[in-house]
């Protein structure tokens, strides 16, 4: 109820700060490859934060959106590598399950 009495920019900043805090709480396990879903979770949280921020752009301005866009862009290469590694693992698994033809003598 307290936010309803605040000016719109103040309330929006408080809401986005809450989203940002949740985004920061995603553990950076993707740096050590301990958690294959950590990068995905981080990107999802970042996408949600950007969507909320765009919804309130009139109240807070567009400067922060540019910063978040750069941050999201910085995760693209890691995501691409993750997808490629998954594809290679699948190819390796399929190749090991395929019976090899007897070599001709």
Q: In this structure, is the dihedral angle defined by the CA atoms of residues 11, 13, 14 and 16, taken in order, positive or negative?
A: positive
Query: What is the pLDDT at residue 71?
Result: 86
Query: What is the pLDDT at residue 33?
Result: 54
Which residue in the block uniquely carries the two structure tokens 């007897």?
Answer: 102
Query: What is the pLDDT at residue 97?
Result: 87
Mean pLDDT of 49-66: 80
In the chain, % of residues over pLDDT 70? 66
Q: 4-12 long-range CB contacts below 8 Å, 24 or more apart?
A: 8/56, 8/59, 9/59, 9/60, 12/56, 12/59, 12/60
| Mean pLDDT estimate for the chain | 76
């Amino acid at each position: 109820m307290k936010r309803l009495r605040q000016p719109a920019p103040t309330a929006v900043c408080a809401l986005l700060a809450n989203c940002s805090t949740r985004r920061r709480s995603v553990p950076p396990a993707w740096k050590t490859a301990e958690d294959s879903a950590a990068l995905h979770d981080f990107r999802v949280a970042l996408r949600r934060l950007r969507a909320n921020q765009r919804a309130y752009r009139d109240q807070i301005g567009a400067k922060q959106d540019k910063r978040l866009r750069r941050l999201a862009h910085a995760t693209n290469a890691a995501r691409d590598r993750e997808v490629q590694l998954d594809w290679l693992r699948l190819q390796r698994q399929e190749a090991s399950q395929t019976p090899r033809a007897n070599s001709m003598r």
